[in-house]
Amino acid sequence: MRSNHEIDYKIHGEEMQCVEIELDPQETVIAESGSFMFMDEGIEMATVFGDGSGRAEGFFGKLMTAGKRLLTGESLFMTTFTNQVHGKQKVTFAAPYAGKIVPLDLMAYSGKIICQKDAFLCAAKGVQVGIEFQRKLGTGLFGGEGFIMQKLEGDGMAFVHAGGYILERELQVGETLRVDTGCIVAFTSRVDYDIQFVKGVRNMVFGGEGLFFAVLRGPGKVWLQSLPVSRLAAKIISYGTVNRKDEGSILGGLGNMLDGN
């Protein structure tokens, strides 16, 4: 039996998705600030300090929770949406950029999922949104995007968002996958996470893929994204400058003049 609120949902869209949450009377969903799209009249919205899980932890506990959220780049506050009327009511949350929304039933994954620090979108009340530090020194020093991860704990539904296309891999015991740190969306709690140097000086200097791989070792399930938001933002910034790289163009600067830049 679940201790978290039980919510029903439907995901709409293809590349720009939103998730519609159906709430029974007095059911609540928690969400990151800025993800709200629209809701029925009977739903009451409230801003709460901390992770919004509703745990009776006192002010100091909430302060610690909020401080940990700051380390992952999130707000000190979460938003709750509660159905205050007798009938079923709906609230919808939208993804912040092109990609997919991944529904995660935490009960099916031993009550814990580790995800990229900006991946969480919303969850049933009772799900705890915390921080997962990697234990290994090398991971801490060089992990980049993948070092400070969020953890989602509980037995309810949670929803994460990722850019581009989502690939799922089921890793067997001892099976290893080397991944760009930004391409990790989430993985189950038994997956071991580490950082590995890219081999070869030429690869490190001229490869353009960074100095490190994230190494994921099974057993467990891994979700990967084809377009991390950091990669998308870097590409947009590069095209916003006059002296851009013009990848694939043999005209170079002349191409800039021909296309109006």
Q: Is residue 261 part of a domain?
A: no
- Flag whether pLDDT at 87 surpasses 50: yes
Q: Is residue 178 part of a domain?
A: yes
**CATH number of domain containing 211:** 3.60.160.10
The pTM score is 0.78
Q: Is residue 248 part of a domain?
A: no
Query: Residues with Cβ < 8 Å from 103, sequence gap 6 or more?
Result: 9, 11, 19, 157, 158, 159
- Flag whether pLDDT at 59 surpasses 80: no
pLDDT at 200: 52
> Tokens at residue 234, please?
């870097």
> For residues 131 and 199, what is the distance between their CA atoms, to the nearest angstrom?
30
In the chain, the number of structural domains is 1
Are the C-beta atoms of 144 and 181 separated by less than 8 Å? Answer: yes
- Flag whether pLDDT at 53 surpasses 70: no
pLDDT at 36: 94
Helix (H, G, I), strand (E, B) or coil at 177: strand
Look-up: residue for tokens 């709430």? 23
Q: What is the mean pLDDT of residues 7-29?
A: 94
**Which one of 101-110, 198-207, 244-253 scores highest in mean pLDDT?**
101-110
Range of the domain at 190: 8-240
Q: Is residue 3 part of a domain?
A: no
Q: Is residue 50 part of a domain?
A: yes
- Flag whether pLDDT at 72 surpasses 60: no
pLDDT at 141: 45
To the nearest whole number, what is the mean pLDDT of the chain? 79
Q: Which of 155, 75, 142 is nearest to 111 (CA)?
A: 155
Three-point CA angle 230, 214, 177, nearest 5°: 120
Q: Higher pLDDT residue, 253 or 177?
A: 177
Convert the pLDDT of each residue in 191-239 to its tens digit: 998 887 766 544 444 444 456 788 999 999 999 999 888 777 777 787 7
pLDDT at 234: 74
CB atoms within 10 A of CB 58: 9
Out of 148-152, 155-159, 167-171, 230-234, least confident range: 230-234
| C-alpha pair distances (Å), 91 with each of 28, 32, 98, 149, 170 | 10, 14, 20, 27, 32
Q: Is the peptide bond before 228 cis (omega within 30 degrees of 0)?
A: no
pLDDT at 142: 47
pLDDT at 205: 45
Query: Percent of the chain beyond pLDDT 70?
Result: 70
Q: Where does the pLDDT of residue 50 fall: very low under 50, low under 70, confident under 90, or very high at 90 and above?
A: low
